[in-house]
Amino acid sequence: MMQSTILKTTALDFLSRQEETCSRTQIRSLLSLIVGPVFGLVYMLYMPIVFLSLLIMLLPGIAIAKSGPVAAKGDSEMCMGCHATEGMTKKLKNNTTLSVYVNATQLSGSVHSFLGCNDCHKDISMANHPADRTFKSAEDFRATTTKLCVTCHPVASFTEKRMHYQIMTQAKAPPCVECHSAHSVQRVAAIKASQSNNDYCLGCHKKNIRISSTQSTVSIDGSQLHSSMHKNHDCASCHTGFSKEAHPLASFANRREHSITLSGTCKHCHADKMAQVEGSIHSSMIKEGNLNAPVCTDCHGFHAVRDKAGFNTMAGAPCKNCHQDVFTAFAESVHGKARLNGNSAAPLCSSCHRAHDIKATALNEGIKFSCLGCHKNAGALHEKWLPNAALHMDSVSCAVCHSSDAGGRVFLRLVDKHTGKPFTEEQVVKLLGEHYRELIGLMNPRSSDITNEGLYKIVKKLNASSEHMKVTLIGSISVSRGIEAHNLTLKQHAVKECEQCHSAKSDFFRHVSLVIMKDNGEAELFNTDQEVLGSMFSVLPASQFYALGSTRLKMLDIIGILMVAGGVSLPITHLLIRKVTAPIRKKRKEEHS
Amino acid sequence: MKKIELHPLPVRIWHWINALSFLVLIVTGIQLRYREMVGIMPFRTAVDIHNFFGFLLTGSYFIWLVYYLATGKIRLYIPDLNLKRLLMSMLNQAKYYGYGIFIGDKNPFHATPDDKFNPMQKSSYLIIMVVLMPLLIITGVLLWNVKGFAKWITMAGGLKIVDTTHVFLAMCFLTFLFVHIYLATLGTTPIEHIKAMFTGYEELDEEHSH
């Protein structure tokens, strides 16, 4: 019974356990039915996200992997272990030292922070670390290293950025790091946003960059720009058309053409000065095609524009850049020495020639007025000792007497008889035609110089060509060369001996020129025979020019000699006849008595 | 022989001032014009002396003009207005100097205080005093201050023409001077006329003394 009870109990336990097992299996199956699909769904959605995330994280690595093995970040850390030390340098072959310090902060803030060191420094590793003097120079090192930039930033991708492309394709193209830096590379958009217009321009232009076609430098010394009178101006104020967004390709034949064109923009602010320049000899020369004539930037500088006061010194006078010989003469003159000795009242170039409306100095009456502007009592002082002082001051340039060793030249200017104004080339062309030079040559067939007769014919022809305009020649004496006009001396050394001029042997009358004033104020000189001054032919055409003793008429001398000879010989002859006829008178007297 | 006062004192003073002025002006003029050949004095000195004597001569001329006009003595210079008579008398005088004088003819003209100059002298001096002297003076004054008289000089044809005229006239006067001095020696004695220009008196021939 007991066994049967035990069996019964066991059977019941078994049955109950069987039932319990059956119910658990059912639950599990039920759970499987629910959890499986849920997990599947989650898996289906989660995996692409995980994959995409991984892809995004690994993409730069994949890109690098195309050209080489992915760098181990650990290596970079090792590099920085040393190169983050400030002041670390390396000796180069040219005996210079190169800083190999890398600012870790800048590097981590760089757009290239994801790269490892030998992504760019490919040939450098711990096993192959360059020793001292591996590279020739810093330039060599930079050029070698930055060649790799094009693996990610190929040259072809810059074809639309023509200026950038032009620089990159130059034979001596500056390395990329020149503008973009090496370890603190920033996105261009970020640079534009963070920098002023001028700083953005200087970002490249303070580097050593050149125009590929002409190899002219377009580098700008930033310090000059910052100390310039124009430091507050925007680059684009002068360089119109340029901005952070636009950099048109220059279309100038050369640097000079660029300077001339750009000087035109000065008028936007300095219209009054530009109006003066327009009438100057320098401007005329430019218009006539002489591109060596100065424009605004030649005197004022282009980026280092100086204060006006800077020009009013011997060192700062820009004229000497072109007129060095004249300036040297000036520096040795009484004016130059006074200026060097600190006399600020002594004149500089612009005091006489003016700064902007500079006229041709040949026979420029304005220069004389400049002298008299300071030497206001010059007229009265000359009147005290010089006969016909006003005439002298009118006809003789100050420098002829006041410049040491000045050589004189007589200038016969064609002048309108009625108005007294110089007869310009334009008027000569109107009367004699475009080929007046050839015509003048034809009028003087036997000489390359204008002869007595030739001069007479020229004036006659001019007067015959017009009923309204009558021409005469006004003579004056000036120095032969401009340099002589600047070597002015103390008045005690000035010419005071009248004989230096008033003698037929005077050097001042050896050189004579016929002058035709050009519209720009320049004088065109035609060499003229010295004999013209003493010729009867000049009595009418040059009736107003006469220097006592020196330009006397030779014909009058001959007439005078004949007259006086007649005056002497008549009494002598009469006396002789009286002597011879004395016996006749004696005989007659005797007969009479 | 009768002595008459042919040259009153004012005339004699005027004459010798003129003579001195002319002499100095000629010398300084030559110095100014021919500086490279003549070195009597510095150019500047020559200018000053020339200017001084130029004005002296000018002043002297005006004194003469006023004196002769005021006293009516100007008629001494007026030749015979009858042209035929004038020409005949001039010819007669020229004939004397060119021929008669050699063969011992008497001078057809005899000076008196009222008729001092022979027909040739009258014509010559009239031209000299009325035309040439004023021209010489005017051109000289213009050249003295060229700038001040610029308009006048331009009107006259220009500086070169004014100077040429001045120098040409000076040459004429120099030429005349030789003839004038020579003629002055053709008196009864060689110094008769010259002496008269100092003393004022000249002896008249009996024949002409009345």
User: How near does any CA of chain B get to the CA of A495, in Å?
Assistant: 13
Most confident of A132-136, A436-440, A573-577, B99-103: A573-577
Are residues A202 and A157 in contact, defined by beta-carbon separation less than 8 angstroms?
A: no
- Look at A570 and B97 and tell me if their CB atoms are within 8 Å: no
- Look at B33 and A548 and tell me if their CB atoms are within 8 Å: yes
Task: Render pLDDT for A364-383 as a digit per residue (tens, 0 to 9).
Answer: 566 777 888 899 999 999 99
- Look at B160 and A390 and tell me if their CB atoms are within 8 Å: no
Q: What's chain A's average pLDDT?
A: 82
Residue with tokens 């007991």: A2
In three-state secondary structure terms, A424 is: strand
Choose from A418, A552, A561, A590 for mutation: most chain B CBs within 10 A.
Answer: A552
Please say if the pLDDT value at position A470 is more than 70: yes
Facing residue for A499 by CB, picked from B35, B51, B104: B35
Are residues B158 and A544 in contact, defined by beta-carbon separation less than 8 angstroms?
A: yes
- A563-568, long-range: CB < 8 A, 24+ apart: A563/B171, A563/B172, A563/B174, A563/B175, A564/B171, A564/B174, A564/B175, A564/B178, A566/B175, A567/B174, A567/B175, A567/B176, A567/B177, A567/B178, A567/B179, A568/B178
Q: Is A379 on the interface with B (CB under 8 A)?
A: no
Q: Give buried/exposed letters for B105-130 (b at 16+ CB in 10 A, else e).
A: eebebebeeeebbbbbbbbbbbebbe
- Look at B102 and A577 and tell me if their CB atoms are within 8 Å: yes
Instruction: Report the pLDDT value the prediction gives residue A63, as an integer from 0 to 100.
Output: 42
Please report the residues numbered 8 through 47 in chain B whose beta carbons come closer than 8 angstroms to any beta carbon of chain A.
32-36, 42-44, 47
Average pLDDT of A305-322? 86
Please say if the pLDDT value at position A584 is more than 80: yes
Instruction: Report the C-alpha gap between A37 and A593 in whole angstroms.
Output: 190
Instruction: Report the pLDDT value the prediction gives residue A56, as an integer from 0 to 100.
Output: 55
- Look at B160 and A546 and tell me if their CB atoms are within 8 Å: yes
Higher-pLDDT residue of A108, A407: A108
Using the 8-state DSSP alphabet, how is residue A508 labeled?
G
Q: How confident is the model at residue B140 (pLDDT cuts 50, 70, 90)?
A: very high
Q: Is A568 on the interface with B (CB under 8 A)?
A: yes
Facing residue for A563 by CB, picked from B102, B145, B171: B171
User: How near does any CA of chain A get to the CA of B136, in Å?
Assistant: 16
**Chain A residues touching residue B99 (CB < 8 angstroms):** none
Question: Could you tell me whether strands A408-416 and A471-479 are parallel, antiparallel, or unpaired per DSSP bridges?
Answer: antiparallel
Instruction: Report the C-alpha gap between A591 and A424 in whole angstroms.
Output: 83
Residue with tokens 């036997």: A446
Instruction: Report the pLDDT value the prediction gives residue A376, as an integer from 0 to 100.
Output: 92
- Look at B32 and A575 and tell me if their CB atoms are within 8 Å: no
> Domains of chain B, with CATH numbers?
2-208 (1.20.950.20)
- Look at A553 and B160 and tell me if their CB atoms are within 8 Å: yes
Average pLDDT of A102-131? 84
Facing residue for A543 by CB, picked from B97, B160, B179: B160
pLDDT above 70 covers a percentage of chain A that reads 86
Average pLDDT of A551-573? 94
Please say if the pLDDT value at position A402 is more than 80: yes
Indicate the pTM of the whole model: 0.71
- Look at B102 and A578 and tell me if their CB atoms are within 8 Å: yes
Instruction: Report the C-alpha gap between A559 and B167 in whole angstroms.
Output: 11
Q: How confident is the model at residue A20 (pLDDT cuts 50, 70, 90)?
A: low
Most confident of A21-25, A171-175, A286-290, A405-409: A286-290
Instruction: Report the C-alpha gap between A202 and A524 in whole angstroms.
Output: 47
**Chain A residues touching residue B168 (CB < 8 angstroms):** 556, 559-560
User: How near does any CA of chain A get to the CA of B116, in Å?
Assistant: 22
Please report the residues numbered 41 through 60 in chain B whose beta carbons come closer than 8 angstroms to any beta carbon of chain A.
42-44, 47-48, 51
Question: Could you tell me whether strands B2-5 and B201-204 are parallel, antiparallel, or unpaired per DSSP bridges?
Answer: antiparallel
- Look at A574 and B33 and tell me if their CB atoms are within 8 Å: no
Instruction: Report the C-alpha gap between A75 and A71 in whole angstroms.
Output: 8
User: How near does any CA of chain A get to the CA of B86, in Å?
Assistant: 24
Q: Is A559 on the interface with B (CB under 8 A)?
A: yes
Q: How confident is the model at residue B170 (pLDDT cuts 50, 70, 90)?
A: very high
Instruction: Report the pLDDT value the prediction gives residue B53, as an integer from 0 to 100.
Output: 97
Structural tokens at position B151:
């308009």
Task: Render pLDDT for B25-84 as a digit per residue (tens, 0 to 9).
Answer: 999 999 999 999 999 999 999 999 999 999 999 999 999 899 889 988 888 888 888 889
Instruction: Report the pLDDT value the prediction gives residue A1, as an integer from 0 to 100.
Output: 43
**Chain B residues touching residue A544 (CB < 8 angstroms):** 153-154, 158-160
Please say if the pLDDT value at position A29 is more than 50: yes
Please report the residues numbered 76 through 115 in chain B whose beta carbons come closer than 8 angstroms to any beta carbon of chain A.
97, 101-104
Instruction: Report the pLDDT value the prediction gives residue A357, as an integer from 0 to 100.
Output: 86
Please say if the pLDDT value at position B181 is more than 90: yes
User: How near does any CA of chain A get to the CA of B42, in Å?
Assistant: 8
Please count the residue pairs, one from chain A and one from chain B, whose beta carbons lie less than 8 angstroms apart: 117
Please report the residues numbered 282 through 321 in chain A whose beta carbons come closer than 8 angstroms to any beta carbon of chain B.
none
Residue A487's Cβ-side half-sphere holds a number of Cα atoms within 13 Å equal to 17
Please say if the pLDDT value at position A79 is more than 60: yes
Q: What sign for the dihedral angle of Cα A459, A519, A352, A333?
A: negative
ipTM at complex level = 0.90
Instruction: Report the C-alpha gap between B64 and B153 in whole angstroms.
Output: 26
User: How near does any CA of chain B get to the CA of A460, in Å?
Assistant: 16
H runs (alpha helix) in A221-308: 222-227, 235-238, 255-263, 271-278, 281-287, 296-300
Q: Is B189 on the interface with A (CB under 8 A)?
A: no
Task: Render pLDDT for A125-182 as a digit per residue (tens, 0 to 9).
Answer: 777 888 777 788 888 888 787 777 888 888 777 777 777 777 777 777 778 887 788 8
Q: How confident is the model at residue A444 (pLDDT cuts 50, 70, 90)?
A: confident
Instruction: Report the pLDDT value the prediction gives residue A21, as an integer from 0 to 100.
Output: 52
Instruction: Report the C-alpha gap between B142 and B146 in whole angstroms.
Output: 6
Task: Render pLDDT for B103-137 as a digit per residue (tens, 0 to 9).
Answer: 888 888 888 877 888 888 888 889 999 999 999 99
User: How near does any CA of chain A get to the CA of B175, in Å?
Assistant: 4
Distances (CA, A) of A544 to A102, A469, B54, B150: 85, 18, 23, 10
Facing residue for A571 by CB, picked from B103, B147, B182: B182
The amino acid at residue A405 is D
Facing residue for B43 by CB, picked from A499, A542, A570: A499
Q: Which of A360, A361, A358, A339 is nearest to A348 (CA)?
A: A339
Facing residue for A566 by CB, picked from B44, B148, B175: B175
